[in-house]
């Protein structure tokens, strides 16, 4: 009898099964593009649909006065539950300013499903950027360049929220869509305006932000345009201390056609870094290079 | 029942930790430090006067227990419905917690202690795993003097003082042995480390924005490059911690009642009545909270 009563009591815990949703009834959103168009928000949603065992990326666009309203409308037209938990990429453009950022941040912070670890990028053409390549391709493009060339910055929604509340600059990787999609430096958002940073300057910004992973540096030998000094920066650390920026580089000499000594290599590399870093900071720059490889003197 | 120092420490540690986590948003590092010093002084003063047999002490603890249990049940239900069981109804979450408490409280002190000691191993292991998993995401640049800032230092100090003193009395009463100053100090130190850890991963700004920053830190975690979305596993830690608190707190509530009511049948009915009252009251407040 006791077991029967226990079983009956336990059945009340099965009521959770009542609200379950089949995977087929979910619209799994992988990437979103948000822009403002004449006081209305325009959203591009990238969804993956499976047809004849093939995954097809489909872009749906809609307009509305708020992001919540657009997603509610979409839910009505799609006849499925919108599922944001697997969101991997958010793309914005220059129509997004303070008010719009606040709307975006509020939407994602108040949404229990989303996780703020997805990447945020900037594009000149949101629809084409999402249509041309899948979100996976874009994410890997940013990730690889961040780790291998240091020519971009990986910005997650966590960083955007933090920088927005701290009133700091927001750095977003720029996905330029002309004939093809290309990563072309950074876009910086500050004081309601968007500015450009060219890809060759991003490395120095990464030094300032202590984001450097690894990259390669080439220097044309004096007097011979066909000869190069080729360095690989294995590791780099930077530290902001009051009025100083301390930088330590671990360098491997890959090619030394110029037959330079370690002291000369050190000087060339230091001069180059100091000149370029002055664009980003007024602090006194102290650089320490540790040269590894076969060209020890 | 044989009690040793380690059991005593574990009980105090998890009671304090769960109350610390439930009130995370109302605390600051400076508040924790000042609260620890203040609670040390209050406990030293209380040790000099013989409080343990006075009726006022029991009445104060009884009222505090009812209030704190209601608020905590409310907060824990909201925590679960917000982070773990989003589609589940609040009534069922609350009911599950209450039934677990009811079952174990009637089973007795020995069973509760065994359950707590067993789960403490899991929590310790999971906390260490969580800490190791979070190491790559630590950013020491976030740790500057700003982390000592507080919104309302008096309120934060008083909150932490209350947390420490309440867990001290609960442990002393449950284990029939006073929690040592060493355990008070170690627990406060652990709480400060947890606070600093959360800030060094999320930054002070994000810590202030999120409702459960100590859970959000696990959203960043990716193990061996591909195991991600594991915050639910780590959230079980917090769940066990909160259960720890609920079990001991409700058991002590019954214990205090037994000082006034000697008949066991009457005592059981009254305890059940109080439990139902706390359950209903917490549900009423949570519906307001979530709306």
Q: Domain of A247?
A: 209-292
Query: Is A202 among the domain residues?
Result: no
> What per-residue confidence (pLDDT) applies to A297?
46
Q: Mean pLDDT score of chain A, rounded to an integer?
A: 85
* Domain boundary residue, one of A197, A226, A242: A197
Give the chain A residue whose CA is nearest to the CA of B81: A112
> What per-residue confidence (pLDDT) applies to A164?
92
CA B67 centroid distance within chain: 14
**How do residues A231-265 score in pLDDT, each as one tens digit?**
888 888 888 887 888 999 988 888 888 888 888 88
> Does A230 share its domain with A146?
no
Q: Which residues of B touch A (CB under 8 A)?
A: 82-83, 85-89, 92, 95-96, 99, 141, 202-203, 205-206, 209, 216, 219-220, 229
| Residues on chain B touching A118 (C-beta within 8 angstroms) | none
**How do residues A127-147 score in pLDDT, each as one tens digit?**
888 888 778 888 899 999 998
Give the chain B residue whose CA is nearest to the CA of A168: B205
> Does A95 share its domain with A33?
yes
> Does A192 share its domain with A221?
no
Radius of gyration of chain B (CA): 19
Closest listed residue to residue A234, CA positions, set A220, A219, A254:
A254
**pLDDT < 50 regions, chain B:** 1, 291
- Domains: count for chain A: 2
The answer to whether A211 and A198 have CB atoms below 8 angstroms apart is no
Report domain extents, chain B: 5-290
Token pair of B41 as six digits: 């002084």
Query: Is A6 among the domain residues?
Result: no
Residue A215: which CATH number? 3.30.70
φ and ψ of A228, to 5 deg = -130, 150
Rounded Cα distance between A82 and A84, Å, is: 6
Query: Is A8 among the domain residues?
Result: no
Residue B134: HSE in the Cβ half-sphere, 13 Å Cα cutoff: 25
Q: A77-86, A179-188, B84-93: which has the highest mean pLDDT?
A: A179-188
A40-51 and A26-37 strand pairing:
antiparallel
**How do residues A206-225 score in pLDDT, each as one tens digit?**
888 888 888 888 888 887 77
Rounded Cα distance between A204 and B144, Å, is: 24
In terms of C-beta density within 10 A (0-12 exposed, 13-18 middle, 19 or more buried), how is residue B76 classed?
Answer: buried
- Virtual torsion, Cα B272, B275, B279, B285, nearest 10 deg: 140
> Does A100 share its domain with A154?
yes
> What per-residue confidence (pLDDT) applies to B3?
58
> Does A167 share its domain with A141?
yes
Alpha-helical (H) ranges within B27-180 are 29-48, 55-83, 90-107, 109-134, 153-175
> Does A81 share its domain with A189?
yes
Orientation angle between helical segments B181-209 and B5-22, nearest 10 degrees: 20
**How do residues A27-77 score in pLDDT, each as one tens digit?**
888 899 999 988 899 999 988 776 777 777 788 889 999 998 998 888 778
Look at A12 and B95 and tell me if their CB atoms are within 8 Å.
yes
pLDDT category at A113 given cuts 50, 70, 90 is confident
> Does A141 share its domain with A48?
yes
């Amino acid at each position: 009898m006791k077991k029967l009563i226990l079983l009956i009591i336990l059945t009340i815990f099965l009521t959770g099964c009542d609200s379950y949703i089949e995977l087929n009834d979910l619209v799994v959103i992988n990437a979103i593009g948000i822009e403002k168009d004449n006081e209305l928000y325009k959203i591009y949603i990238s969804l993956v649909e499976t047809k004849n065992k093939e995954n097809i990326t489909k872009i749906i666009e809609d307009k509305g006065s708020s992001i919540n309203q657009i997603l509610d409308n979409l839910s009505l037209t799609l006849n499925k539950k919108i599922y944001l938990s697997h969101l991997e990429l958010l793309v914005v453009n220059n129509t997004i300013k303070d008010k719009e950022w606040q709307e975006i941040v509020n939407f994602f912070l108040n949404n229990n499903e989303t996780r703020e670890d997805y990447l945020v990028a900037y594009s000149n053409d949101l629809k084409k950027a999402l249509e041309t390549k899948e979100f996976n391709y874009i994410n890997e493009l940013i990730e690889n360049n961040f780790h291998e060339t240091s020519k971009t910055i990986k910005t997650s929604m966590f960083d955007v929220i933090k920088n927005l509340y701290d009133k700091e600059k927001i750095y977003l990787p720029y996905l330029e869509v002309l004939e093809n999609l290309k990563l072309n430096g950074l876009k910086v958002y500050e004081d309601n305006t968007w500015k450009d940073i060219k890809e060759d300057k991003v490395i120095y910004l990464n030094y300032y932000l202590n984001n450097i992973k690894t990259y390669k540096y080439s220097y044309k030998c004096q007097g011979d345009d066909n000869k190069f000094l080729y360095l690989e920066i294995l590791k780099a650390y930077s530290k902001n201390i009051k009025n100083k920026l301390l930088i330590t580089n671990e360098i491997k000499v890959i090619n030394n056609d110029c037959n330079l000594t370690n002291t000369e290599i050190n000087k060339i590399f230091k001069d180059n870094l100091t000149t370029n870093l002055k664009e980003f900071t007024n602090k006194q720059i102290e650089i320490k290079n540790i040269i590894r490889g076969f060209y020890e003197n | 029942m044989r009690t040793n120092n380690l059991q005593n420490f574990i009980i105090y540690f998890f009671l304090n930790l769960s109350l610390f986590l439930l009130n995370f948003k109302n605390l600051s590092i400076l508040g924790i430090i000042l609260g620890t010093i203040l609670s040390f002084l209050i406990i030293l003063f209380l040790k000099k006067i013989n409080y343990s047999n006075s009726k006022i002490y029991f009445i104060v603890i009884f009222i505090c227990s009812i209030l704190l249990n209601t608020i905590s049940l409310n907060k824990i239900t909201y925590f679960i419905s917000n982070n773990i069981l989003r589609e589940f109804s609040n009534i069922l979450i609350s009911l599950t917690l209450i039934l677990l408490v009811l079952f174990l409280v009637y089973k007795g002190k020995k069973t509760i202690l065994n359950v707590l000691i067993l789960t403490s191993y899991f929590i310790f292991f999971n906390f260490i795993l969580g800490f190791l998993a979070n190491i790559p995401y630590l950013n020491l640049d976030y740790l500057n003097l700003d982390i000592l800032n507080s919104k309302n230092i008096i309120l934060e100090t008083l909150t932490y003082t209350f947390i420490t003193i309440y867990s001290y009395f609960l442990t002393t009463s449950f284990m029939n042995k006073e929690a040592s100053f060493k355990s008070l100090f170690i627990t406060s130190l652990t709480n400060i480390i947890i606070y600093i850890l959360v800030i060094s991963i999320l930054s002070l700004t994000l810590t202030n924005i999120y409702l459960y920053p100590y859970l959000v830190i696990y959203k960043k975690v990716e193990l061996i490059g591909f195991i991600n979305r594991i915050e639910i596993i780590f959230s079980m830690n917090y769940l066990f911690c909160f259960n720890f608190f609920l079990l001991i707190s409700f058991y002590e509530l019954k214990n205090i009642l037994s000082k006034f009511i000697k008949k066991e049948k009457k005592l059981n009915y009254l305890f059940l009545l109080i439990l139902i009252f706390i359950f209903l009251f917490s549900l009423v407040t949570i519906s307001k909270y979530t709306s």
